[in-house]
Structure 1
Amino acid sequence: MILLKNATAVQFEPALVKQGVDIVIDNGLIKDVGTNLSSKYPNALIKDLKGQLVMPGIVCSHNHFYSGLARGIMADIKPSPDFISILKNLWWRLDRALDEEALYYSGLICSLEAIKSGCTSVIDHHASPNVIAGSLATLRKGFLKTGLRGMTCFETTDRNRGLDEMAEGVEENIRFAELIDAAKAKGEEPYLVEAHIGAHAPFTVSNEGLSLLSNAVKKTGRGLHIHVAEDTYDVTHSHHHYDQDLVERLDSYGLINNKSLLAHGLFLSDKDIAILNDKDGFLVHNARSNMNNNVGYNDKLASFKNVALGTDGIGADMFEELKFSFFKHRDAGGPMWPDSFLKFLGNGNELLSRNFSAKFGQLTPGHKADLTILEYMSPTPLMADNLAGHFAFGFNASHVSSVMVEGQFVYEDREFPFDVAPIYAEAQKVAARLWKNMDALKS
């Protein structure tokens, strides 16, 4: 049992800022919240936070851990004037160059960086066409090594080997979901990692593939995680080949439900948005990635019932992502203020609640003890009414001092519980080899 003493409790939704709070953690859950609780729990290990901010864990709701060794990439990348050429010349070469070792270190580094940035959980979307079977279990090792909570899935696609590749991707998704179910049943280790059923995007998944995915969703009870309408090409392709809007097509195969996670969605039709809202699914907005790929802006954010924030592989700094999301929205003439984007950030915990069948996102008894702790000295009053303003204009990842997942510190007083220097040193060697492998591949 751990007692976090003298904390400043911060909650996203409903907004809360309260000083002098004690939080008792036991068996992975918040057990009690109040003042002067040390006498009530005399056997608890006490950590005096001296006024540091304690908030529900921060979630990155869409990421690509396979891209972890791409930073500063030194491979021969052709000029890429449009979205499809960016995919073909960079990302689809990178994912084909991955082997098991590169995948492991990419996922492990991304897990460490996410924690250091204040994330307690990351929802990953994976691709490694030449290492399909067992790839998700390899990523899971990184989550468990670092103590990061997360979800992952394999990006089912036909872009390399057609239907055979799609079938292998679906099989890997099912195999991983069954691995998770078996691990839960045995109770041999912390339940930190869950599964989605993954697919790349509608334009690289045929109707035969959607049928396979539909069966996988029904068999496993999981939701679909897919990119949609990241570029106008996806919409045009669907109209050309299937005479349907994107979400309409996915829904016709029973793939939209309250566990569905659709990334980007810049160019979804009003009909598509209505379907997603009616099925209570999620859109995940990735502002920096959209800007980097020059694909445009999602000016319909306010029309979606459920919105969360992700990075699409540009690290896992959700403080920075919230800022970019808000500033880009304002730059595009949008009407929303920081409180809307703080709600989007907090919605990542709702995604966890739906998939882990547990309570996340509030500092109340019975909720998971996934917590982000900040050492933040504010020059102005910090209160519930201006909390979102501090997120947009004040907080950043450098303020993260500690991170707790499932009631355990995975990062405490800016230190990991194990030496990470050898991991980074090895990752540099693996990255250099990965880049050479990319140059040996044709676009």
Structure 2
Amino acid sequence: MPNHAPTPTAVKADLMVCPRWIIPVEPYGVVQEDHALIITNGQIVDLLPREAAIQRYTAESIETLPDHVLIPGLVNTHTHAGMTLMRGIADDQPLKTWLEDWIWPLETRWVSTDMVRDGTLLACAEMLLSGITTFNDMYFFPEAAAEAVDQAGIRASLGILAFEVPTAYGHGADDYLNRGLATRDALRDHPRLSFMLAPHAPYTVSDATFDKVATLAAQTGLGIHIHVHETQQEVDDSLRQYGERPLERLERLGILGPQTLAVHAVALNDSDIALMARHNVHMAHCPTANLKLGSGMAPSSQLHAAGINIALGTDGAAGNNRLDLLSEARLAGLLAKGMEQNPGLFPAHSLIYMATLGGARALGLQDQIGSLAIGKHADLCAIALDSTATLPVFDPASQIIHCAGREHVTHVWVDGQCVVKKKHLTEISHGEIYAKAKTWENRFRG
């Protein structure tokens, strides 16, 4: 019989997680069975066979998950968290109508620190229960979003917004940028917050503002998070107004580079793809939102073939209508296979990569999160594979993508802190978010 007692010289650790399988993402394509992950001070300190771990470490807490696969926490590279309160409010509309006739008028009336804080907290709850440990946000009042992030225990990259239209948040692009930068300065030491410059889109941002964004990116090292080529109409309008495609305009203005995250990237031609590849631009693929708004389908296989890093995003719950990255991963793979009539495209491990380390790379956080590597933050997601929908298990990676859903996520850790335990939030009260959501529902109805 194996000796399950630690040796007298065992190293102390905070947490030992012992699942049936571990998919560390780095190295790619590996599935480790009967291994243990060791965590101290919120960081991964070791990953080794379970028996060796028991011999080498004495942990303050041990989490045994006999039917689970452990993966890095999912990274949602594009959302508008505060808009979760508008879920389902204007379904079945094309993007332009959805924005101009429904969303923007509602925001004009209601957007505030309270709305953003409450909507973001609701989004954080949904995302954590779905295995998402990091999200990249683009919305008003990032300081209010930061309060929700702090309460929820999640990790976030917050947008320093820029566009020309005045709102309750700011008088114009300069005001938005100044306010966002001030928020970033005030919160720069927060352990779970980072920031990106977030010019909304080519059709809402002037050349002068893009010049300022490019200068700020060069001065601060911040990434740039922008909607681009979301619809064919956006491209056609740009050609009429500027005589060039949106990506060509962004190149001329110095916006494209390895720090740039292009969201949606649906209406692309070969020259657009070559332009993105030449500048090492990342892409946030949001397949559900693109389909639901009738925007089209991004040419993900061509982008991948060009060497472009593809990450995954949910977009906002006002347009998706769910913040579920596992379903985005599955849909992204199926769309590519069907569009190209090639079942070999985007195997399960590549989709898990897109949802984890690919997302971390897109946010410039690849040295901190995205894989279960020693020294990284212990952001983890445990998925149970013991239900009728997931049995039998021949390939845990395949089960994650093609069988499991967010309802199979049982445990989630951020910085080694358990924020979801046995499918229940530990830091957020369901009663609190329910009451807030009902309050805003009644306001919007009125």
- After TM superposition, the score normalised by the length of structure 1 is 0.86
> 1:390 aligns to what?
399
Structure 1 residue runs without a partner (length 5+): 129-134, 437-443
> 2:104 aligns to what?
92
Structure with the higher strand share, 1 or 2: 2
Matches of 1:429 and 1:164, distance apart in 2: 28
* Of 337-346 and 221-230, the range deviating more from structure 2: 337-346
Matches of 1:32 and 1:274, distance apart in 2: 40
Matches of 2:271 and 2:299, distance apart in 1: 16
> 1:119 aligns to what?
132
Matches of 1:279 and 1:180, distance apart in 2: 30
In structure 2, do the counterparts of structure 1 residues 93 and 330 end up closer, same or farther at CA, with 3 Å as the change threshold? farther
Residue 6 of structure 1: CA displacement? 4.6
In structure 2, do the counterparts of structure 1 residues 239 and 6 end up closer, same or farther at CA, with 3 Å as the change threshold? closer
Matches of 2:92 and 2:431, distance apart in 1: 35
- Indicate the SS of the match to 1:106: helix
Residue 55 of structure 1: CA displacement? 0.7
- Superposed CA offset, 1:266-304 (max 9, x none): 113333322322222211111111111111122354324
> 2:378 aligns to what?
369
Q: Are the counterparts in 2 of residues 227 and 262 from structure 1 also a CA contact under 8 Å?
A: yes
The Cα RMSD (Å) is 2.3
- Indicate the SS of the match to 1:297: coil
Q: Are the counterparts in 2 of residues 281 and 306 from structure 1 also a CA contact under 8 Å?
A: yes
1:66 aligns with 2:92: no
> 2:148 aligns to what?
142
- Indicate the SS of the match to 1:263: strand
Equivalent residue in structure 2 for 1:424, among 428, 434, 437: 434
> 2:255 aligns to what?
255
Q: Are the counterparts in 2 of residues 306 and 347 from structure 1 also a CA contact under 8 Å?
A: no
Matches of 2:295 and 2:359, distance apart in 1: 28
Equivalent residue in structure 2 for 1:5, among 9, 13, 18: 18
> 1:131 aligns to what?
none
Identity, in percent, stands at: 22
Matches of 1:357 and 1:395, distance apart in 2: 26
Residue 62 of structure 1: CA displacement? 0.8
Matches of 1:31 and 1:88, distance apart in 2: 50
Matches of 1:26 and 1:51, distance apart in 2: 24
Matches of 1:105 and 1:211, distance apart in 2: 34
> 1:308 aligns to what?
311
1:19 aligns with 2:36: no
- Indicate the SS of the match to 1:30: strand
Matches of 2:293 and 2:19, distance apart in 1: 44
Equivalent residue in structure 1 for 2:69, among 31, 46, 53: 53
Residue 174 of structure 1: CA displacement? 1.9
Q: Are the counterparts in 2 of residues 20 and 51 from structure 1 also a CA contact under 8 Å?
A: no
Q: Are the counterparts in 1 of residues 268 and 299 from structure 2 also a CA contact under 8 Å?
A: no
In structure 2, do the counterparts of structure 1 residues 271 and 72 end up closer, same or farther at CA, with 3 Å as the change threshold? closer
Matches of 1:24 and 1:222, distance apart in 2: 32
- Indicate the SS of the match to 1:368: coil
Equivalent residues, number? 413
Q: Are the counterparts in 1 of residues 199 and 205 from structure 2 also a CA contact under 8 Å?
A: yes
Structure 2 residue runs without a partner (length 5+): 1-13
- Superposed CA offset, 1:210-269 (max 9, x none): 112223222322011110011112212222222222222212222222221110111133
Q: Are the counterparts in 1 of residues 127 and 323 from structure 2 also a CA contact under 8 Å?
A: yes
- Indicate the SS of the match to 1:316: coil
Residue 321 of structure 1: CA displacement? 1.2
In structure 2, do the counterparts of structure 1 residues 38 and 168 end up closer, same or farther at CA, with 3 Å as the change threshold? same
Residue 15 of structure 1: CA displacement? 1.6
Residue 341 of structure 1: CA displacement? 3.1
Equivalent residue in structure 1 for 2:185, among 171, 178, 183: 178
Amino acid at match of 1:329: A
